[in-house]
Amino acid sequence: MKSIFLIALFPLLNVAQAQDANTILEKIDANMSSKNRVFESSMTIRGKRSSRTITSKSYSEGTRQSFTEYLSPASEKGTKMLKLDKQLWIYSPSTDRTIQISGHMLRQSVMGSDLSYEDMMDDRKLSEVYDARVTGEAMIGDRRVYVLDLTARVPDIAYFSQKIWVDAERFVPLKQELYAKSGKLLKMMEMENVIQVQGRWFPGKIKYKDMLRQGEGTEFNITRISFDQQIPEYIFSKAALKQ
Amino acid sequence: MKLAFKLAYRNLIGAGLRTWLNVIVLSFSFVVIIWLKGVMTGWDHQAKTDMTNWEIGGGQYWHEAYDPYDPFTLTESHAPLPAEFLPEVAAGEMEPVLITQGSIFPEGRMMQVIVRGINPEQTIFQLPTSVLDSATDAIPAIIGSMMAKTSRLKTGDYVTLRWRDANGTFDATDILICGIFNASVPAIDAGQVYIALDKLQEMMLLPGEATIVTFRSSNVPRQETAGWVLKTREELTRQVDEMIKTKSAGQSILYGILLLLAMLAIFDTQVLSIFRRQKEIGTYIALGYTRQQVVGLFTVEGSMHAVLAAFVAAAYGLPFLAWQAKAGWTMPVDTSEFGMAIAQTLYPVYSLGLVISTVAIVTVTTTIVSYLPSRKIARMNPTDALRGKLQ
């Protein structure tokens, strides 16, 4: 009798779990997405033989506009990147030319890192593009996390499924695995140094690893970040690239 | 005139070593020009044959958005096969190929590749596609030797292939290199991976679609079809024609230098002859020759260098050219990275037209160069010439 009751209750439990998973995604989006943000970061690319660090300052407005200026090393200083909707331009000071990155070029890695230009451009909210399911709970370090399986619900998405470990209190992803449609693990991200900025929890350090490539991966450190700032409109124009 | 030839021949032979030096230099021009032009013709022949056998068949239909020089077009350049193609496709007279982009990760290094889906049972191309039908635990694939060299892959190696389907979703799986082919057409080798057409269509979520369709026979008249652009064999091999035209123009400079050296020697010989044989010129005129006849005599004498050179060139050139046609000329540098259809060993092809035109050009040039100094004879005072007075 008890087991019949449990079987009858099971679909209801599933619905409740699904709602929880979607709520978790929305909470993640609330932390990670903002009207706009300005941040300074350093990207350390760890290769097979050596590693190098690139610092940059970025401005982004929603998911459609972003502008990045590289500050160091000297070889990259002054390089600027502008994303407007699905278009991306790069300005190189050494040649004083602006080139548009499109098609297969978007799949190339950014400055030899484990991130492709497309990875940087695809920043839609998780709750808009994935169906989520809580598959369990675990511990990452001393943090309790929910483990979520995400499956794409829209066709035009880069990664068909994801596995995501979300801090159960702060609702910040602490680990993320990105899978191909075949189930092959393509990329992995580990987030650390979670900081609170203007009421949001945000990871201060993200380690990216392209699982198909050699190397130690790419480390992305946010040194300064602020949300909902007054960003001048000209920043998101092609004219800003040559300034 | 017969007398002129007789006298010219006697004078030439009488000049001894001077004549033979000129003749040998001129014969080099003959042999080198014919050989180089033969190499060019051989390259043209080989490039077009290889392109036909490996890449273009008798011609192709391209999807209207397809541009091989612009990879940006690949995501849009595919469509279902038109109904009128289907009977020929079923008969094996047409082969559809689906093309997309992907990345492979040999030893953890990322390499951008073009993935081509091709029918394993096709017979239009010399590609060893039958191995794509092998039953393996990974997708069977073939690559060219140039690709194998750059990716350091060999038969039996597994490598991960990552691609995006028609919706832009990443997918990845292992492929098994089942065969490596050797072809001198870089377009079908460098950065290309071949897998079975139906497999690629399934991977890309594009069942029944193709990017290009190659037909076997170039003799069947064909029409454009909506959404597909007809590319004839002539159009597809035009780049070879243009390349050879450019190379031939460059070679013309070499021919010019060779001829210039030979003509300089002939010119000098003529000037010396006229200077040293003034008494002889005076005697001819005293015996009743007109000045123009004497000019003609010296011109014939000069141009006979070319005739003798043709015989000398034939003596050593024919065996050399015949041996080259058989053994070929192996280029000292690796041609696989030239980016064009060129074999490591080129086999010269000589035509009768090539030999006749070369002999004609050299003989006419020699005649003109022999005539130019001989004009001085027309301005000579015969009495002074007879006395041997310098003029």
Write the ipTM. 0.77
Rounded CA-CA distance B94/B73 in Å is: 23
Structural domain harbouring A236: 60-122+229-242
Residues of A with CB under 8 A from a CB of B: 102-104, 107-109, 152, 155-160, 178, 180-182, 184, 186, 210, 212-215
Query: In this predicted model, what pLDDT tens digit does every residue of A64-123 receive, in sequence order?
Result: 788 999 998 998 899 998 988 778 899 999 888 998 876 566 666 777 777 777 676 666
A95 inside domain: yes
Residues A135 and A111 in one domain: no
Q: Which residues pair with B211 in a beta bridge?
A: none
| Cross-chain Cβ contact B171/A180 below 8 Å | yes
- What mean pLDDT comes out for the span B179-200? 92
Q: How far is A158 from chain B (nearest CA, A)?
A: 4
Element (H, E) at A224: strand A217-227
Non-local (6+) Cβ contacts of A62 within 8 A are A35, A36
The CATH number given to whatever domain includes residue A13 is: 2.50.20.10
User: How, if at all, do strands B228-232 and B59-63 pair?
Assistant: antiparallel
Which residues of chain B are within 8 Å of residue A158 when distances are taken between CB atoms? 164, 168-170
Please list the residues that pair with A84 across neighbouring strands: A65, A87
Q: Do B169 and A181 touch (CB under 8 A)?
A: yes
Residues B13-17 have a mean pLDDT of: 79
Residues A129 and A222 in one domain: yes
CA distance B340 to B47: 8
**Under a CB-based contact definition with an 8 Å cutoff, are residues B32 and B181 in contact?**
no
Contact between A160 and B169 using a beta-carbon 8 Å cutoff? yes
Residues A156 and A223 in one domain: yes
Q: A98 in a domain, yes or no?
A: yes
Residue of A152, A156, A184 lying closest to B173 (CB–CB):
A184
Mean pLDDT value across chain B? 87
Are A132 and A221 members of one domain?
yes
Q: Which residues of chain A are within 8 Å of residue B173 when distances are taken between CB atoms?
A: 180, 182, 184
**Residue percentage of chain A with pLDDT more than 90:** 42
Tell me: do A137 and A221 sit in the same domain: yes
Q: Would you say residue A40 lies in a domain?
A: no
Nearest C-alpha of chain B: how many angstroms from A128?
Answer: 16
A98, A178: one domain: no
Domain count, chain A: 2
CB A202 within 8 A of CB A183: no
Shared domain check, A159 and A97: no
Same domain, A130 and A220: yes
Inter-chain CB proximity A182 and B171 less than 8 Å: yes
> Does A190 lie in the same domain as A108?
no
* Torsion A92-A95-A101-A106 (CA) sign: negative
The amino acid present at B178, given as its one-letter code, is: C
Asked if A181 and B103 come within 8 Å (Cβ–Cβ), the reply is no
What letter does residue B338 receive in the DSSP assignment? S
B271 or B203, higher pLDDT: B203
State how far Cα B99 lies from the chain centre: 29
- As a whole number of angstroms, the distance between CA B346 and CA B331 comes to 8
Nearest Cα residue in chain A from B106:
A213
Q: Does A44 reside within a domain?
A: no
Locate all alpha helices (DSSP H) within chain B, ordered by sequence.
Answer: 2-15, 17-51, 86-91, 145-151, 197-204, 233-236, 238-276, 278-286, 291-327, 352-378, 382-387
Whether A130 and A152 share a structural domain: yes
Note the pTM of the prediction, 2 decimals: 0.77
Q: Does A147 share its domain with A209? A: yes
Residues A132 and A223 in one domain: yes
- For residue A2, name the pLDDT band (cuts at 50, 70, 90): very low
Q: Which of B88-102, B271-285, B342-356 holds the top average pLDDT?
A: B88-102
